[in-house]
């Protein structure tokens, strides 16, 4: 592959904003600096654009089957759309293994993504059974390129407190990371049964059946269990509430290695969406549900002050047709999950950077650098620096778009963000130096994405480093 020099843009990383060219050779960044010699290279003009490290989405379900129903996309169309929106690496959360095995979901996910994925990809482990072999199996996983596992406190594969404690201790010993879907299952079960008994099964019953305090309770409990397990590293996925956030803030103030992720839908949408007429409201059925405006504002504050570490999507695309077929008569039968991988960067730029809630550097940290570091993908991913993979987004801040299903590369029959206007979009997206998308259209090939083994984060103790960013508002 010949050399490539990206010229004339403004390079934005989590810590710096500089006018610089970027030289790429053999899929890696070789040099970053002003006025690089490009005589022997192909030139890509980035004038008027920001040059960002490729987005890292550490929470996707491109390959999930729940209750016999498979999501409507797959690794091929899912990762293509992610790439078109500026994401170059994803980390997939697989479903529960039928036999409870730790290893089958990893193998299956890799097989399904191989030769299909358009982004680089990693896989989280998932623990739905705990026995005497679990600690040793987890060590094997952590040292075999999978330093993170998911546990659930609800759904069929949920673990009880004793099992959670075992997993936290075993992972903590290996400096691995336990990620958790935190909601109190017994409370949700009780509330759901009461609503069903009263015949309340329309969309507003969904948020009523899993209120914010169900999340807050589980977040607090998991932090306590992680603390008891010798301060085991803990990562709360899709945090949606102010009350849950407060528990994370307190844990960080204590110096515990606790991380939090939120998603664009909790930052942009609120629970009045469940009042929409007919099947329209089913577009917003995901768990945890959309919350109040007060929760939403608290999450923005959490992003700005460092309490929340990452923004991932929880992309889990059951189509509107699937939602209506299963849940049209009873919201409790509606498959939960929404698309979002393609719109993550443009929406967070629009609502965060363009509205002065986030600096550009903090934006890059949230969508790329921090998720890459926490999930063990650094230093290859998450930075524009010599030696890093040439995963690069040429972001045009003046390329307005109105979000709609038709305007997206994603083949879904809806987007929960329809009608939202964003000021900018990636002009080009490079994966290891190869251009995979231009102006939101896929120009790459299925299978251009590779599996990426990950390593435990050696900087875990520096978790709170992220708050020292400077505010730079230079135009490109
Ligand atoms: O409703 C959702 N979010 N479905 C995907 C699985 C999960 O809970 O993350
Ligand atoms: Zn070890
Ligand atoms: Zn979840
Ligand atoms: Zn999820």
61 CA closest ligand 1 atom index: 5
The DSSP H or E segment spanning 266 is helix 264-268
Given ligand 1 and candidates 59, 156, 239, 337, which is best to mutate, with the most ligand atoms within 8 Å of its CB?
A: 337
Find how far residue 77's CA is from the centre of its chain: 17
Half-sphere exposure of 444 (CA within 13 A, CB side): 33
Q: Write out the residues surrounding ion ligand 4, Cβ under 5 A.
A: 314
pLDDT of residue 163: 98
| Least confidently predicted of 45-54, 93-102, 420-429 | 93-102
The DSSP H or E segment spanning 152 is strand 148-152
The per-residue DSSP string of 301-364 comes to: HHHHHTS--EE---B----HHHHHHHHSS-GGGSPP-B--TTTHHHHHIIIIITTTSS-HHHHH
The ipTM estimated for the assembled molecules is 0.91
DSSP 243: H
Query: Is the separation of the CB atoms in 121 and 58 below 8 Å?
Result: no
Q: What is the mean pLDDT of residues 183-200?
A: 98
pLDDT at 471 over 50: no
Q: What is the mean pLDDT of the chain?
A: 95
pLDDT of residue 309: 98
Q: Where are the domains of the chain?
A: 4-52+384-403+422-442, 54-374
Give dist(CA 372, CA 54) in Å, integer. Answer: 10
- Write out residues with Cβ below 6 Å of ligand 1: 61, 181, 286-287, 314, 316, 336-337
Q: Three-state DSSP class for 6?
A: strand
* 258-262/234-236 β-pairing: parallel
Closest CA to 466 of 265, 268, 259: 259
**Domain 54-374 architecture:** Alpha-Beta Barrel (3.20)
Query: Is the separation of the CB atoms in 252 and 170 below 8 Å?
Result: no
Find how far residue 21's CA is from the centre of its chain: 29
Half-sphere exposure of 323 (CA within 13 A, CB side): 24
Given ligand 1 and candidates 151, 287, 416, which is best to mutate, with the most ligand atoms within 8 Å of its CB?
A: 287
Query: Is the separation of the CB atoms in 171 and 177 below 8 Å?
Result: yes
Give the pLDDT band (50/70/90) at residue 472. Answer: very low
Query: Is the separation of the CB atoms in 32 and 378 below 8 Å?
Result: no
Paired residues of 24 in beta bridges: 4, 29
pLDDT of residue 139: 97
Query: What is the third-level CATH fold of 4-52+384-403+422-442?
Result: Urease, subunit C; domain 1 (2.30.40)
Q: What is the pLDDT of residues 123-157, one digit of tens each?
A: 999 999 999 999 999 999 999 999 999 999 999 99
Instruction: Write the residue with the smallest CA distance to atom 4 of ligand 1.
Output: 337
pTM > 0.90: yes or no: yes
Q: What is the pLDDT of residues 109-125, one digit of tens each?
A: 999 999 999 999 999 99
Sheet holding 42-45, edge to edge: 28-33, 21-25, 4-7, 42-45
């Amino acid at each position: 592959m010949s050399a490539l020099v990206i010229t004339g843009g403004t390079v934005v990383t989590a810590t710096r904003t500089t006018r610089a060219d970027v030289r790429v050779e053999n899929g890696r960044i070789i040099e970053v600096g002003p006025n690089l010699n490009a005589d022997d290279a192909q030139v890509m003009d980035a004038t008027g654009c920001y040059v960002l490290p490729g987005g890292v989405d550490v929470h996707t379900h491109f390959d999930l089957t729940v209750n016999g129903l498979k999501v409507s996309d797959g690794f091929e169309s899912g990762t293509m759309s992610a790439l078109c929106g500026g994401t170059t690496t994803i980390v997939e959360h697989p479903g529960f293994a039928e036999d409870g095995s730790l290893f089958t979901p990893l193998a299956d996910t890799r097989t399904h993504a191989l030769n299909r994925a358009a982004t680089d990809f990693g896989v989280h482990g998932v623990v739905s059974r705990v026995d005497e072999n679990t600690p040793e199996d987890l060590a094997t996983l952590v040292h075999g390129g999978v330093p993170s596992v998911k546990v659930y406190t609800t759904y069929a594969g949920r673990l009880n407190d004793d099992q959670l404690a075992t997993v936290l201790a075993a992972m903590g010993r290996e400096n691995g990371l336990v990620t958790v879907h935190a909601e109190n299952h017994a409370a949700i079960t009780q509330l759901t049964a009461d609503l069903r008994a009263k015949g309340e099964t329309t969309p507003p019953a969904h948020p009523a059946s899993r209120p914010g305090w169900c999340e807050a309770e589980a977040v607090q409990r998991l932090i306590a269990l992680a603390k008891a397990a010798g301060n085991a590293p803990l990562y709360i996925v899709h945090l949606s509430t102010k009350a849950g956030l407060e528990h994370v803030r307190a844990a960080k103030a204590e110096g515990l290695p606790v991380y939090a992720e939120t998603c664009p839908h909790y930052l942009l949408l609120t629970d009045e969406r469940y009042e929409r007429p007919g099947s329209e409201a089913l577009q917003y059925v995901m768990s945890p549900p959309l919350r109040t405006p007060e929760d939403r504002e608290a999450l923005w504050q959490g992003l700005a002050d460092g309490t929340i570490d990452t923004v991932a999507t929880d992309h889990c695309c059951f189509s509107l047709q699937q939602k209506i077929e299963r849940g049209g008569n009873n919201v409790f039968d509606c498959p939960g999950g929404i698309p979002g991988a393609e719109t993550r960067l443009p929406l967070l730029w629009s609502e965060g950077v363009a509205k002065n809630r986030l600096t550009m550097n903090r934006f890059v940290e949230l969508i790329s650098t921090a998720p890459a570091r926490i999930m063990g993908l650094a230093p290859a991913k998450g930075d524009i620096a010599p030696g890093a993979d040439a995963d690069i987004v040429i972001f045009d801040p003046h390329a307005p778009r109105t979000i709609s299903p038709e305007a997206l590369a994603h083949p879904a029959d809806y987007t929960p963000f329809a009608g939202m206007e964003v000021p900018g979009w990636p002009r080009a997206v490079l994966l290891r130096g190869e251009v995979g998308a231009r102006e939101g259209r896929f120009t790459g090939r299925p299978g251009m994405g590779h599996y990426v083994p990950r390593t435990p984060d050696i900087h875990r103790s520096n978790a709170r480093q992220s708050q020292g960013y400077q505010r730079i508002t230079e135009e490109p």
